[in-house]
Amino acid sequence: MTTAAGARNLLTDNPALYEARFPDPDHSAARFVDDILATYLTSDDAAPRTHPATVLDLDCGTGRDLGYLARRGYRCLGIDQSPAMVRYAQQQYPGVRAAVGDLRTFEVDASVDAIVCLDSALLYCHTDAELESCLRCCRRHLRPGGLLIAEMRNGAFFLGNPELLDGPTHSAFSWHGHTWRAETTLWIDHAAQLLRRRRQWQIPECTEPLVQTSAWRLLFPLELTGHLQRAGFVVRALFDTPGPRTETGWPGRGTDLGGTALCGDRLHVIAEAV
């Protein structure tokens, strides 16, 4: 049983608990990646690809998305800062090679066709220097024509919109016969351009609550585009909806990427290494 005193990060230290908290039974995130690659990724001679691509997932978490892609025939690599997540990914998902690494300074012994950065992982780069370092690493590991696919919160959504900032929200889920409860509060640190989160967990059979904090950089679409261009990318698509974590979900391949008002909660970018 996890205890408040022993948890460095409740969810990332407990991968099975993470998957219970964030289920994805229809593999919406991995299908999104698969469909984007099938649509936008070409071979070195600009013809449609006829062989499996190598995909690197930054902050791969439990490896669930890579596991799906591996079953689809991709060669799958992942890095994550959590040793527990890396062990779980390699044990639970055949065909996934994962290692401990930092997305801001990662090195892998491979040139890859695509790099995936989902669930706002890119926003753990809190400063311009960290973001630029991450994007340089991505460009260095991508072959020319390779793709960076990123999905994240959209900084523009918070311009005058207090929808997610109105007060604490409460959630609960069941796992192994116990109910896990959390109270979450979000607020904007304007000076640092960060979305900060305080989450208080009530852990089963633990009398004291566990309080954990985290933060994400808030990037605006034009700002993100500029960083990508300076790092050696050209943006192929930028849209807020549909997507794996939007209200509409990801309908599937051939979906019209029509959400170009870029005011939605999520931001998706497909950038090509040039």
What does the pLDDT look like over 124-170, one tens digit per residue?
Answer: 999 999 999 999 999 999 999 999 999 999 999 999 899 999 889 99
**5 pLDDT more than 80:** no
pLDDT for the residue 260: 85
Q: With bands split at pLDDT 50, 70 and 90, how would you rate the model's confidence at 9?
A: confident
Element counts in the chain: helices (H) and strands (E): 6, 11
Closest CA to 149 of 16, 250, 22, 248: 250
- pLDDT attached to residue 256: 86
On the question of pLDDT at 182 being above 50, the answer is yes
- Global pTM value: 0.93
CA distance 258 to 262: 10
Average pLDDT over residues 235-248: 94
Whole-angstrom distance, CA of residue 99 vs CA of residue 189: 32
d(CA 76, CA 57): 8
Confidence at residue 42, expressed as pLDDT on a 0 to 100 scale? 82
Residue 1 has pLDDT above 50, yes or no: no
* pLDDT score for 37: 96
Ranges 61-75, 190-204, 245-259: which has the least confidence: 245-259
Measured distance CA(246)–CA(15) in Å, rounded: 23
- Is 189 in contact with 202 (CB distance < 8 Å)? no
pLDDT of residue 2 exceeding 50 = no
Task: Kindly indicate the confidence band of residue 254, based on its pLDDT and cuts at 50, 70 and 90.
Answer: confident
With beta carbons less than 8 A apart as the criterion, state whether 263 and 157 touch: yes
Report, as an integer, the average pLDDT of 181-205: 96
- Residue 44, pLDDT score: 59
Q: Is residue 178 pLDDT above 70, yes or no?
A: yes
Q: Across residues 201-219, what is the average pLDDT?
A: 94
Give the pLDDT mean for 64-84. 97
Residue 6's pLDDT is 41
Residue 7: the pLDDT is 47
The answer, yes or no, to whether residue 45 has pLDDT greater than 70, is: no
Sheet holding 194-202, edge to edge: 169-175, 178-189, 194-202, 210-217
The lowest-confidence range among 63-77, 159-173, 183-197, 220-234 is 159-173
Give mean pLDDT, residues 42-49: 58
Average pLDDT, the chain: 93
- For residues 9 and 66, the model is more confident at 66
8-state DSSP, 159: S
